Structures are given as structure tokens and as C-alpha cells.
Amino acid sequence: MAQKEEAAAAAEPASQNGEDEENLDDPEKLKELIELPPFEIVTGERLPAHFFKFQFRNVEYSSGRNKTFLCYVVEAQSKGGQVQASRGYLEDEHAAAHAEEAFFNSIMPTFDPALRYLVTWYVSSSPCAACADRIVKTLNKTKNLRLLILVGRLFMWEEPEIQEALRKLKEAGCRLRIMKPQDFEYIWQNFVEQEEGESKAFEPWEDIQENFLYYEEKLADILK
């Protein structure tokens, strides 16, 4: 699969999640890095606040943000109208798998075919072409699934392949939109750990509304 952020080439010394790089001159730390598994999907109910502030920020140039964070809400509705809801988040640690694929591989197998599902994703950036193709195929064969994807940023949106992939998502019935400031606040309240000393209220960054409008315009042009 393609890397999730164009500015995060493996050869570049970029920090992860806003943290400093490990000291690669330290033999023990270097050994730890070499022995990492090919990929790891991190799951949980709430993600650390500093991860959210760095990874979800809707910047135009997303240098260093080479991970995908996916917060999800699953609403299962029975024929009698009863609704059961669950939520959590997925984070792809390495490049061999993306969080979108992990959702289908680890969360979706628990779905009951007798129920109807409304799934909402809050994702740090929009899907790559390969993940978009997996989403389309899943929606086409899973008639009891409806998917809404809200993204903080558009991934490589100038590439024709990506634009075509986003249009195919729309054609498959996937609703795709850019996160508004209120959506970031929802994530902060429902998916982010409230660490000691952190403000309980969501504090928008300076250009959050401006960047939302920027990406909203780009997405509208792609999907029209």
C-alpha cells in the first residue's frame, strides 16, 4: 500500500506523533527498532492527547504525519429498532497495513448479518487508493452496512489516482466529508484521554476553520 503521507518518506528523519526521534547511535535502541514487527495495529478506546493534537491537525502540508488514526462509532440496529453502539480507535504503527484495513479485519468480523450497521469513521487523513478500493469492495458486498467517513485532511488530493478513488467511494454509497471544528471537538471529548494538567475543554488551533474550508472546497471539486 502507499504511504499515508507524502512527506514521510522512510529515508527522511521525521519524528513520530510530534515526539523526538530515538537516538540511533545507541546500540540497544537501534536493536529495538530493528526487531519491530512488520506492522502493529494499536487499538483502544481513547488516544493520548498529544497524538490527537499532532496527527489530527488539519494542516495543508502534513510533514511527519505518517500514521493513520481512525476513531470509529458503530451503531447496530435490530429489526425491532433497538440500537447498540460501540466505539474505539485504531492506529497503524508501521507501513504494511493501514487503519482502514484493520477495521475490516479486526472489528467488522464481529458484525451480525441480521443487524443493520451505521459506521462513522473520524480519520486523520483520507484513504489512499488501495484502502479506498477495499472500502468500495466491502460496501458492495455488505448490504447491511452504511459508512460515513469524516477526514481531517485530504491525502495526496492532487494525484489523479486519489481523486478517482474518492469518486468511487461516493459512487459506492460512502459518505465522505471534511471535519468541521465541531467534529474535532467531538473527537476530543469522546476519544481523547484527558491527561493530568490538560484543559478539559477543546482548544481549537488558530487556522482550524480556514483549513476546513480549504479542504472542503478541494473535496467538492473532486466529487462534482
- DSSP type of residue 115: S
In angstroms, the CA 51 to CA 33 distance is 20
47: β partners:
192
Let me know if 100 is a catalytic residue: yes
Q: Which of 100, 158, 159, 193 is catalytic?
A: 100
C-alpha neighbours within 13 Å on the C-beta side of residue 75: 11
On whether the CB atoms of residues 1 and 128 are closer than 8 A, the answer is: yes
173 dihedral zone (left: phi>0; alpha: psi -120 to 50; beta): left
77: β partners:
83, 116
User: Mapped to the 3 state alphabet, what secondary structure does 119-173 carry?
Assistant: EEEEEEECCCHHHHHHHHHHHHHCCCEEEEEEEEECCCCCCHHHHHHHHHHHHCC
Active site residues: 100
